[in-house]
Amino acid sequence: MRALLIRIGVDQAYGGWNAPADPASRRFLYCPIPDHPSKCYRPGCKRDYGQFVSALDRFLRRLRLDGRQTPCFPSTLLDRHPHLDPDFEHLTYGDNGQRRGAGITEMERGDLLAFYGGLRSVAGADRLIYALVGLYAVDQVIPARHVAVDCCDDNAHTRWTKISNKDVVVRANPKLSGRLERCIPIGEWRDRAYRVQPGILKAWGGLSVRDGYIQRSAVPPRFLNPDKFYLWFLRQGIPLVRRNN
């Protein structure tokens, strides 16, 4: 088994915002980064942030919060189109197979993609909550240009009119994959960066980055002992759901 830890979701570098999470219930909002402004879309495949505005409203109502207690949805994203990737509704994930996603092209059925993000606590803490938010057990990895036309709306990389011959799309096993119903905090601020907590890093069997560094990486970290990580994950007992929010 092979496994990668992949950062997803809007943040200060890509979108200028961090989606909220409640540290008490561990409920969270998944909000993707904005797509590049130059992108054009196939008919019927253009998305907007409306569904995430609605999801934020539901999130706040569930926690009985309002805009005075946690940031409102940023107006700067309302004129952009989301790069909805991963798409937990369709259980897909796309990436550039010759750069950031090079390791994904070598993956086979049963390998793992663990998704995490930097979330903003609704409790008002200064530090972000770095947490796992989804998990895929790979079913297949295919070139994006080989995706059937009637399936092009299943992933951000195949919604474009021009699909790169470098891009690949992962389809996940629906019985073992999805968005986490509640996030699993894994990070802490240590040695001037966000890193995986030492106890969790040890329970996973280590990562291919120095001292669990997860603040930003050009290449997704590898789990050094994927089987050990997966057993740890299963022990958390968090249900996986097939929806984005």
Q: What pLDDT score was predicted for residue 68? A: 56
How buried is residue 79: exposed, middle or buried, by Cβ count under 10 Å (0-12/13-18/19+)? exposed
| The model's pTM | 0.96
pLDDT by residue (tens digit) across 114-147? 999 999 999 888 899 999 999 999 999 999 999 9
Say whether pLDDT at 67 is over 70.
Answer: no
State whether residue 81 is helix, strand or coil. coil
pLDDT tens per residue across span 178-224: 999 999 999 999 999 999 999 999 999 999 999 999 998 888 999 99
Mean pLDDT of the chain: 95
* Residue 243, burial from CB neighbour count under 10 angstroms (0-12, 13-18, 19+): exposed
Q: Where are the domains of the chain?
A: 3-241
pLDDT in tens, 36-46: 999 999 999 99
Helix/strand/coil percentages in the chain, nearest 5: 20, 30, 50
Judged against a pLDDT cut of 90, whether residue 66 lies above it is answered with no
HSE, CB side, 13 Å, CA atoms: give it for residue 131. Answer: 27
Q: Which of 62-71, 111-120, 235-244 has the lowest mean pLDDT?
A: 62-71
In one letter, which amino acid is 153?
D
